[in-house]
Each structure stands twice: as C-alpha cells, then as structure tokens.
Amino acid sequence: MTTQANPTTRVALVTGASRGIGATVATRLAADGYAVAVNYAGNEAAAHATVAAIEAAGGRAIAVRADVADAEAVKRMFATIEDTLGRVDVLVNNAGVLPYVTIAETSDDVFARTMAINVTGTFNTMREAATRMNEGGRIVNFSTSVLHMAPPTYGVYAATKGAVEALTRVFAKELRGRAITCNAVAPGPVATELFLNGKSDALVEQIAKSAPLERLGQPDDIAGVVAFLAGPDGGWVNGQVLRANGGMA
C-alpha cells in the first residue's frame, strides 16, 4: 500500500514492531491517532500482519524493513518514513534480543550481536532522530527491570540495557531547546512468546507470584506506559526510567 505524507498527522516509529510488545505498542499508538511505521528486520509477514490489523481498525501504518544495527539502513528507514508518512514525532526503540547465557559461556558472536542490536541500534536511531525529529517530539527507549535484579544468564543483556539508560539520560539533556523528551521504559517479566518459551508452567507461576501484583505483565500494560510518555500527559517527564514491573523490582 502506498501512502502520502500528511503534515497534520503525527508520526510514530516503533522498532522491532512485527510482534510481541512492539506490535502492541504500534497498535496502541495507531489507536491514539498516530500514523505508525512498523519496523522489522526479518519477519516481513508478521510486520505486514501488524500493519493490516492497524488498518482494519481504521488506522494508518506502513512496514519498513531495516536492521537498526546498520546506520545506513536506519538513515534509509527515516527517509522512507518521511516520504510516505512525514517527519517522525515519536520514536520507540523496542528492537532487542535476549540471549539466556552465562557470561563465561557467551560467545564473541552472541556478545557482538546483542550489543549491536540493543545498544548500537538504539544509538543509531537516536542519532538520526536528533536531526530529523519534529520539535516537541518524544523518544521512548526500552530498558529492563532485570538490570537491577541481576539474575544469572542475563549479564550481557543487562549490560546493554545499562548502556541504554545512560544514553537516555544524556540525550534528554542534549536535546535542550527543542521540547523533545527522552525517557525509557523498563518492563519486568511480560507474557510474550519470547519470555514464555522454554519455561515450565511452574516456573512461570513462580515468577508471576514474585511481584506484589502477583501476575506477569501483559503487552498492553507496557504499551499504556509508552503511550503515556508519547502523549501530552507525559510532556513533563524527561530523562527518566519508568519501571513497569508490578512492583517486582
């Protein structure tokens, strides 16, 4: 589907939005009135399914392929969005990978790829947004509550999210004078395919009960926090990390 840019429509870019939390965030922002660019790296069918769901609900969306770890691909992605939807008003950095592996057993390839997507990918889109985002925009990065829980096998992942939180705080200050906010959301365990795969029902129940609210998060829980930060009610929140985890950490 070919669309034309409409300067009166606010535009949101959600990275890694073909499924899971990213797809739910994209759908929520579309329901809030944004034209949404659904970024994906490899799962084209899922990305187009997310676009189709948004359009079926009366929203406007396009699927844009780009590996966010590739700076040139990110530049092309922004150009495509500007040509079809308009300049970006909201950037949600959701794309990420989570290898469950001890530090000692982490291969060079796993370490490099996790850093490339989680850190370099977030950096690439933030750097591009610095010159291409509309005044008064919103940037929402994804961290994790695991960063402070520090369980085994999360070492490299937690390290990448520590870097994301540092980038978030610094970038919020560097954007002074443009009315652009930059915040991060740090979910606790969320009931997505990525989290549930490979875990027994007993383990999932144990993790869910460890939060004071005694349940896993749902993608809609996280999408609501992102929507708050992206919308007018979140305009006075800047340089912060919101830990959406049911009180777990």
What is the spatial distance between Cα 113 and Cα 46, in angstroms, rounded to a whole number? Answer: 22
The pLDDT value given to residue 1: 44
Examine residue 169 and state whether it is found in any structural domain, yes or no. Answer: yes
- Residue for token pair 């490339």: 116
Contact call for residues 153 and 101 (beta carbons, < 8 A): yes
Contact call for residues 221 and 164 (beta carbons, < 8 A): no
The pLDDT of residue 246 is above 80? yes
Mean pLDDT for all residues in the chain:
94
What is the spatial distance between Cα 4 and Cα 43, in angstroms, rounded to a whole number? Answer: 25
Tokens of 73: 């691909």
Q: What is the mean pLDDT of residues 119-129?
A: 98
Q: What is the mean pLDDT of residues 95-113?
A: 95
- Angle (CA) 98 223 6, round 5°: 110
Question: What's 94's domain CATH number?
Answer: 3.40.50.720
Examine residue 2 and state whether it is found in any structural domain, yes or no. Answer: no
Examine residue 6 and state whether it is found in any structural domain, yes or no. Answer: no
How much of the chain exceeds pLDDT 70, in percent? 96
Examine residue 4 and state whether it is found in any structural domain, yes or no. Answer: no
Least confident range of 154-158, 179-183, 197-201: 197-201
What is the spatial distance between Cα 143 and Cα 164, in angstroms, rounded to a whole number? Answer: 6
**Global confidence as pTM:** 0.93
Total domains in the fold of the chain: 1
What is the spatial distance between Cα 175 and Cα 188, in angstroms, rounded to a whole number? Answer: 28
Work out the number of other CB atoms within 10 angstroms of the CB of residue 244: 18
What is the spatial distance between Cα 78 and Cα 22, in angstroms, rounded to a whole number? Answer: 18
What is the spatial distance between Cα 122 and Cα 144, in angstroms, rounded to a whole number? Answer: 14
Contact call for residues 230 and 174 (beta carbons, < 8 A): no
Examine residue 73 and state whether it is found in any structural domain, yes or no. Answer: yes
| Structure letter (DSSP) for residue 211 | S
Examine residue 249 and state whether it is found in any structural domain, yes or no. Answer: no
The pLDDT of residue 194 is above 90? no
Examine residue 234 and state whether it is found in any structural domain, yes or no. Answer: yes
User: Any alpha helices (H) in the chain, and if so which ranges?
Assistant: 20-31, 44-56, 71-84, 108-115, 121-132, 146-149, 155-174, 193-196, 201-209, 219-230
Q: What is the mean pLDDT of residues 56-71?
A: 98
Examine residue 166 and state whether it is found in any structural domain, yes or no. Answer: yes
Q: Which residues are catalytic?
A: 157
The pLDDT of residue 10 is above 90? yes
The pLDDT value given to residue 159: 97
Q: Which domain holds residue 220?
A: 11-242
pLDDT classification of 2: cutoffs 50, 70, 90? very low
Identify the residue with better confidence: 198 or 25. Answer: 25
pLDDT classification of 7: cutoffs 50, 70, 90? low
